[in-house]
Amino acid sequence: MIWLTWRQFRAQAVTAIAALAAFAVLLAVTGPHLASLYGASGITGCHGGSCGQLASNFLSQLGTGIYPVVYVLGIAGIVLAPAVIGIFWGAPLIAREFEAGTFRLAWTQSVTRTRWLAVKLTLAGLVAMAVTEALSLIQSWWGAPIGQAARLATTSSFPLGMSPFSPLDFAAHGIVPLGYAAFAFTLGVTAGVLLRRAIPAMAITLAVFAAIQVAMPLGIRPHLFPPKNATAAISSFTSLPTQIGPDGTFAFSVDYLPSQPGAWILSSGAVNAAGQPVGTSPAACKSGALAGSPAWTPCLASHGIRIAVSYQPTRRYWPLQWTETAIYLVLALVLAGYCFRRLGRRVS
Amino acid sequence: MVIEFHLDGRSGVAPYLQLIHQVRQALRLGLLREGDQLPKVKDVAAGLAINPNTVLKAYRELEYEGLAAARPGIGTFVTGTLAGASLAAHGPLRRDLQRWLAKARRAGLDDESIEALFISTFRSAAEEDIA
Amino acid sequence: MTAVLEAHGLGKRYRRLWALADCTLSIPAGHVVGLVGPNGAGKTTLLSLATGLLAPTTGTIEVLGGPPPASPAQLARVGFVAQDAPVYAGLPVTDHLRLGAHLNPGWDAELARDRIERLDLDPGQKAGKLSGGQRAQLALTLAIAKRPELLLLDEPVASLDPLARREFLQDLMESVAEQELSVVLSSHLVADLERVCDYLIVLVGSRVRVAGPVEELLATHHLLSGPRRDPDTLPAGQQVISASHTDRQSTLLVRTSDPVLDPAWTVSEVGLEDLVLAYMSQAAGRGRRNHHLEVQK
């Protein structure tokens, strides 16, 4: 059964290894130079305030070369890999057997359907997880200098890597790629079992997986652990994106919390001294001359208005990674279990 | 192989009977002699694309008639004979028959008439023998 | 003699349609069984139930002593070739043999190799590029080389040209003779089955109409022709399967174990093809009558 699984899986495995190898070569070729640039930037031995400027310089230096492209390609590859696996490995696994009628050959040999499915799921699933995680680890190794610089930089035009919690970065690093690969693969297999045609199964797999991958960072991940709340003075923020509306309405949003560098900001807004959200300037600060003028924010502050932030602290990074991975692995197991039950009973 | 079987699918005669008939015919004509091995069941079944049980049935019937005997693991062999002394008379009889046929044709009889004449004479002669 | 296949009240329903209903069979071992009936009669359904690819809706089925697919051991004792002989188009012939070897503990590699050689199949040829006859032969090789006790073949020769058909049946008969194999093969043409089958099951309209050894069936079915007569007036022991009438004459196909003594009848033997046709028309006639009644309502 192992021979047969390998023989039928051969083409896909070879493609994956080749892609992984090409990826590795690209990163191996560009990695050392990146590391030497980082070494020359002086960030490693820096202290305090100078770090920010050194980091920003380093990143803008990179921005002129091919590094942003390679970085984005890497992230994109890791994020797309599970979807590709689900579509091209998972969906056709059983659907093709139904379409071609070969299940009538495969399931009348001396091997039970359960064993047939178990070996196929395990082998291909493990390869899927390994390949995806390998992509992630290689990219993490390569992009480490960029990540470190990004945490320190005060300004940057680098496209990604600014925060490990940003949706694409979180999805591409750590161990979640393992979970995504396992889930996408079993999702594809399940779609194949239900629909029995490869193309529809591939489409459904893509649609469902994409929907879940969008829903997870937006709706689920922020709440895997209870968010923490804090307030900070308006003046403590060096940049404060502001929206001004008619009649003195306004809204603040921030993407960092000075007291918690690197924290994942879930939501932010202005609150009054009592902690209630504030959307309208107090009368005294409303006058047209004040709105938009540099004296406006101190005016708000003098009325007790502060910025309230809901966030996940940095120490939650790995617990979030583990929890999310566990969720996807459990989903994968549930789907696999369903496939076993479905096949074990009747087919046609 | 001493004998090769064939089947007429449209004769209405059961296959196993056709096989028996062909063995008996071969025996009469001296094509099969005592001690000859009949084709293996497997080979007959494969050659004619018929059920092996059909061949087995024919061979068993021949055994029952005393014309053949099965040797387990080896095959089925001819043990009896139908030709006997009459084989010697075949030559002259065949020549007589050829002469009679030539006469019938000269008299203007076609194939069907010849066959009808022969069969009716043969049958009435057989009845006389019984009577 | 043990039964290779036993079914009691076996039925299979898809949504509202019964593909097979009320099927009760006991097929003895050591026979080549012909499963004959028109397309859509339920032959593939019955064979799928026997291989365990389908589960029954009602009733039970046992193959070689257990409900399929009971275990790897039972799977090993049953060989199956589905309709159109599915094979993996992208795998060459030799990889199909490896598949057989890896998935079947009882695999006879020498037998498989010999067959492939004799059939003149190129081992390196991808199975998708084989002709219909060659695919059927490859699938049969896979089924036979696992040394089963029972071989189930679904319309194995339906799409083959006469030569391929002949060669397939020749090979099958050789294997039956060599391995003492029981075979159930289905077809919608009686001519395919006549020479090779010694047991017959007629399946029409999802139901078994008649089943038994061919010899017995031919001995108990007769064609009666004589002056015009209402079939209902026949004695109880004579079951009328089909009847046709002219103004003055009736021709009836009758099933009976007793001799037909009525001097009014001319009794003649029935060929297998006519027997099957009679049962097919019997089933169709009943169907038509029912339809007629419904329309009248």
User: What is the ipTM, given to two decimal places?
Assistant: 0.88
List Cβ neighbours of A223 (8 Å cut-off, separation of 6 or more).
none
- Cβ separation of B46 and C269 shorter than 8 Å? no
Distances (CA, A) of C179 to C30, C151, C182, C192: 10, 11, 9, 22
pLDDT attached to residue C297? 39
**Cross-chain residue pair C104–A102, CB shorter than 8 Å:** no
Number of Cβ within a 10 Å radius of residue A222: 18
- Expressed in angstroms, the distance from the first to the final Cα of chain B is 43
pLDDT score recorded for residue A156: 62
Q: Does one domain contain both C79 and C152?
A: yes
**Cβ atoms C272, C252 nearer than 8 A:** no
Co-location of C121 and C231 in the same domain:
no
Report domain extents, chain B. Answer: 15-78, 86-130
Tokens of residue A328, six digits:
């996807």
> Could you check whether the bond before residue C69 is cis, i.e. omega within 30 degrees of 0?
yes
Maximum average pLDDT range among A52-56, A242-246, C131-135? C131-135
Burial of B76 (0-12, 13-18, 19+ CB in 10 A): buried
Helices (H), chain C: 43-51, 72-77, 93-103, 109-118, 132-145, 162-179, 190-194, 214-220, 272-296
Helix (H) and strand (E) counts in chain C: 9, 13
- Percentage of chain A exceeding pLDDT 70: 94
Q: Considering only the beta carbons, identify the residue of C30, C31, C173 that sits closest to B49.
A: C173
- State pLDDT tens for residues A66-102: 888 888 889 999 999 999 999 999 999 999 999 999 9
Give the model's confidence band at A251: pLDDT under 50 very low, under 70 low, under 90 confident, else very high: confident
The confidence band for B80, taking pLDDT boundaries of 50, 70 and 90, is: confident
Instruction: Label residue A121 by pLDDT band (50, 70, 90).
Output: very high
Last residue within a domain, chosen from C176, C205, C234: C205
Within this chain, do residues C34 and C144 fall inside the same structural domain, yes or no?
A: yes
Which residue has better confidence, A228 or C190? A228
| Contact map slice: C 75-94 vs B, CB within 8 A | none
Which chains, if any, share at least 3 CB pairs under 8 A with chain C? A, B
Query: Do both C21 and C157 map to the same domain?
Result: yes
Q: Is residue C250 part of a domain?
A: yes
Compute the radius of gyration of chain A from its Cα atoms: 25
Average pLDDT over residues C174-203: 89
- What number of residues does chain C have? 297
Interface test with C, best of A110, A117, A343, A348 (most C CBs within 10 A): A110
Interface check for A104 against chain C (CB to CB < 8 A): the answer is yes
Q: Are C241 and C283 in contact (CB under 8 A)?
A: no
DSSP-derived letter for residue A170 is H
Q: Which CATH class is domain B15-78?
A: mainly alpha
CA distance A87 to A204: 9
Query: Where among C205, C231, C251 does a domain terminate?
Result: C205
Distance of residue B29 Cα from the nearest chain C Cα, in angstroms: 28
What is the pLDDT of chain C when averaged over all its residues? 88
Domain termination site, one of C177, C205, C233: C205
- Give the residue carrying structure tokens 């899986």: A9
pLDDT at C283 over 90: no
Specify the pLDDT at position A288.
Answer: 53
- Give domain status of residue C184, yes or no: yes
User: Are both C122 and C9 inside the same structural domain?
Assistant: yes
- Could you say which DSSP state residue A246 is in? G
Looking at the structure, do residues C17 and C122 belong to the same domain, yes or no? yes
Residue of chain C whose Cα is closest to the Cα of B45:
C173
The reply to whether C153 and C196 lie within a common domain is: yes
pLDDT in the model for residue C294: 40
Does residue C210 lie within any of the structural domains?
no
Q: What is the pLDDT of residue B51?
A: 93
C105/C164 same-domain check: yes
C187 and C228 together in one domain: no
Q: By mean pLDDT, which of A28-32, A192-196, B18-22, C65-69 is the weakest? A: C65-69
Cβ neighbours of C153 in A, within 8 Å? none
Q: What is the mean pLDDT of residues B60-76?
A: 89
Contacts of A38 (CB under 8 A, 6+ apart): A44, A58, A145, A148, A149
CATH number for position C144 = 3.40.50.300
Q: How far apart are CA A339 and CA A187, in angstroms?
A: 10
Q: How many CB contacts within 8 angstroms connect chain A with chain C?
A: 76
Whether B42 sits inside 8 A of C197 (CB atoms) is no
Q: Out of C54, C87, C104, name the one closest to residue A110 (CB).
A: C104
Query: Which pTM value belongs to this model?
Result: 0.85
Same domain, C201 and C222: no
Selecting from A7, A103, A112 the residue whose C-beta is nearest the C-beta of C69 gives A112
The predicted structure's pLDDT at residue C293 = 41
Look at A112 and C72 and tell me if their CB atoms are within 8 Å. Answer: yes
Answer yes or no: is pLDDT of B31 > 90.
no
The Cα of A136 is separated from the nearest Cα of chain C by a number of Å equal to 33
pLDDT of residue C192: 74
Q: List the domain range (segments joined by +) for residue C198.
A: 3-205
How many structural domains compose chain C?
A: 2
Question: Which pLDDT belongs to residue A290?
Answer: 57
SS3 C228: coil
pLDDT at res. C1: 56
Q: For residue C69, is it within any domain?
A: yes
Residues of A in contact with C51 (CB under 8 A): 104, 108
Would you say residue B56 has pLDDT above 60?
yes
Of A304-313, C89-98, C162-171, C263-272, highest mean pLDDT: C89-98
Residue A158 banded pLDDT, cuts 50, 70, 90: low
* Residues C42 and C172 occupy one common structural domain: yes
